[in-house]
Structure 1
Amino acid sequence: MEKHYSVDDLLFLMVQLRNPDGGCPWDLKQDFSTIVPSTIEEAYEVAEAIEAEDFDHLHEELGDLLFQVIFYAQLGREAGHFDFSRIVDTLVRKLVRRHPHVFPSGELYGDNHAGAVDEAQVKQNWEAIKAEERSAKGEAGALDGVAVGLPALTRAAKLQKRAARVGFDWPAVDGVLAKIEEEIAELRAAIASENEAHTREELGDLLFSCVNAARHLRVDPETALRDCNRKFERRFNSVERALRTQGRQPSDASLEELDQLWNRAKEQEKN
């Protein structure tokens, strides 16, 4: 019978990789900051597998992401900050605390017979509990605690969501769309002024307003842009294939011809 490894085996493996006597030289060189880029990359690869419905490989991508947590846990244990068991304990306690509708006793294995509650109430309770947790950490401002390291689109959406909770928001998407048009006009003026810093600022304002529109339309901006990126790749690849059949590359074609091939690729997707 084939052996199936457990989390304990994974923790043991991590100890061996970080063992100064015979461990892996690359793993031994790493610290908290050096593996952050890998953590972000692995999280995106999980998202990509889910969006592509590649369930044959999703478990592998999730394993790669889990390994990042195991790595941080080992680094924390070596430095005396925390270990994997503390990570799990903190997480379970937080989830029990944030789900009083499921664990009214406040204990994972307590006498839990919660009454019926709808999704809106769950979200309201969740946000109230998170606000209490932020206050306990000394985060009094409405925007406190929004991680700086988030992707810019995601962070913009979170900042706007926090501001909206205290009433700083457009009442409807029409106001946001009008703001986008205003920002486009300001961007045009900045471009005309040939002021690079001003142009960058106005472009940022336009992007921020587009994220606001996405939030009002209940669209995740990161997901929308990833979808757009895939669409662009698909259509541009179609343009390249069409030119290769003629023994040519995109650089050999005029912009007008490239545009025609692009429009043809769009039409083919509709059929």
Structure 2
Amino acid sequence: MFENLSPRRQEQLQAFDRLLTIMDELREGCPWDRKQTMESLRHLTIEETYELSDSILENDLTEIKKELGDIALHIVFYAKIASETQAFDIADVLNSVCEKLISRHPHIYGDVKADNEEQVKQNWEQLKLKEGNKSVLAGVPGSLPALVKAMRVQEKARSAGFDWEEKHQVWEKVEEEMQEFKTAFNESGDVPSEAAEKEFGDLLFSLVNYARFIDINPETALERTNKKFIKRFNYLEAEAKKLGKSLQDMTLAEMDVFWEEAKKQE
């Protein structure tokens, strides 16, 4: 069967078989690997996913390759653990996702028509409902970070036709929420009230909505700003150290000089 495949596809399959073999050997012979459970691997998998995210934002292809390998290892590891109780194995995992992809792409593997990305998304969500999902929003993991979750629930709602029609309407909503937050904050005095917190949440949600509407990923945008701030702050600390000072010993005006220098180097 595999002899008819291209040489490169054969290499890919051989590499995957090599990983499966190594996983078998580690699970049998390594005390650490033998001890692991799905629960013990969970936080490590989350960490690996964030490391992949970092490397993608840095556009570091060498690191992306490395982190993809780590995640592939984790997938194989979970499947190996499950196979030991005959729950499922890696073949079941891969066949399951293949069947899902085929069933959810009837415009490729069936006679459904989808001329654009939006129609594909709508078909996808309708098929998920037919498969048993009780809500369009049911597929959004509850443990997602709040910013990512906001974007995902908005995308899911859009796939069901629940969305703004024009971007100016979304911006008007942002301005409305900004005013409501300012009012609630001013009324709360020095200690922000529960009402101010609620309105701030509404404001963030509306900003995420606007970002999504103009094709900006808010999570990516915020993380790029985080990285930019960290880089500038590290420069500020390094320059202060050269002067034999700590930041606590410097005035804000003195720090601003180095901050502006850092901005010019970007």
Q: Does structure 2 retain, via aligned residues, the 8 Å contact 1:99–1:126?
A: no
Corresponding residue number in structure 2 for 1:227: 224
- Map 1:231-246 to 2 at 5 A: 231-246=228-243
Shift of 1:41: 1.9
Look up the SS of the partner of 1:18 in the other structure.
helix
Q: Is the 8 A contact 1:134 1:145 kept in 2?
A: no
Deviation of 1:36 after TM superposition, in Å, equals 2.1
1:185 to 170, 179, 182: 179
Q: 2:164 is matched with which residue: 156, 167, 170?
A: 170
Q: Pairwise mapping of residues 139-218 of structure 1 onto structure 2 (< 5 A)?
A: 139-192=133-186, 193=188, 194-218=191-215
Greater alpha carbon shift after TM alignment, 214-223 vs 31-40? 31-40
Q: Distance in 2 between matches of 1:56 and 1:33?
A: 29
Task: Say what the alpha-carbon RMSD is for the aligned residues.
Answer: 2.8
What CA distance in whole angstroms lies between the structure 1 residues aligned with 2:125 and 2:160? 15
Deviation at 1:69, TM superposition (A): 0.5
Amino acid at match of 2:88: F
Deviations 1:132-164 (A, max 9, x none): 233222x23232222223232222111112223
> Deviation digits for residues 247-269 of structure 1, max 9, x if unmatched?
22222212232234323432443
2:84 partner SS: helix
User: What one-letter code is carried by the residue in structure 2 that aligns with 1:172?
Assistant: E
- Tell me which of 2, 6, 23 is aligned to 2:30: 23
2:81 to 75, 78, 85: 75
Q: Report the Cα distance in structure 2 between the residues aligned to 1:77 and 1:143, rounded to whole angstroms.
A: 31
Q: Is the 8 A contact 2:181 2:199 kept in 1?
A: yes
| Alpha-carbon distance between aligned partners in 2 of 1:182 and 1:259, rounded to the nearest angstrom | 33
**What is the TM-score with the length of structure 1 in the denominator?**
0.80
Residues 9-57 of structure 1 show CA distances to partners (whole Å, capped at 9, x for unaligned) of 32233233333xx4323x3443223322222221222232233222223
AA paired with 1:131? Q
Alignment of 1:34-45 (within 5 A): 34-45=40-51
8 Å CA contact retained: 1:18, 1:28:
yes
Match of residue 132 from structure 1: 127
Cα 1:258–1:176 change in 2 (3 A) is farther
| 8 Å contact from structure 2 (residues 105, 124) kept in 1 | no
Q: Please give the alpha-carbon distance, in whole angstroms, between the structure 1 residues aligned to 2:130 and 2:200.
A: 34
Q: Deviations over 1:37-96 (max 9, x none)?
A: 222221222232233222223221111010110111122212332110001111122222
Which residue is equivalent to 2:250?
253
- Structure 2: gaps of 5 or more residues: 1-10
How far apart are the structure 2 equivalents of 1:34 and 1:183?
42
Structure holding more helix per residue: 2
Q: Which amino acid aligns with 2:178?
A: I
Rounded to whole Å, the distance in 1 between the matches of 2:164 and 2:20 is 49
- Measured after TM superposition, the shift of residue 233 of structure 1 is 1.4
Q: Which residue of 2 aligns with 1:111?
A: none
Q: Sequence identity, in percent?
A: 36
Distance between the aligned counterparts of 2:41 and 2:73, measured in 1? 11
| CA 1:206–1:30: 2 relative to 1, 3 Å | farther
| Structure 2 equivalent of residue 108 of structure 1 | none
TM-aligned CA distance change 1:261 to 1:181, over 3 Å: farther
Please list, as runs of the form range in 1=range in 2, the aligned pairs for 1:104-115 lying within 5 A after superposition: 104=110
Q: Which amino acid aligns with 1:52?
A: E
TM-score (norm. length: structure 2) = 0.81
- Larger mean CA deviation between 86-95 and 243-252 belongs to 243-252
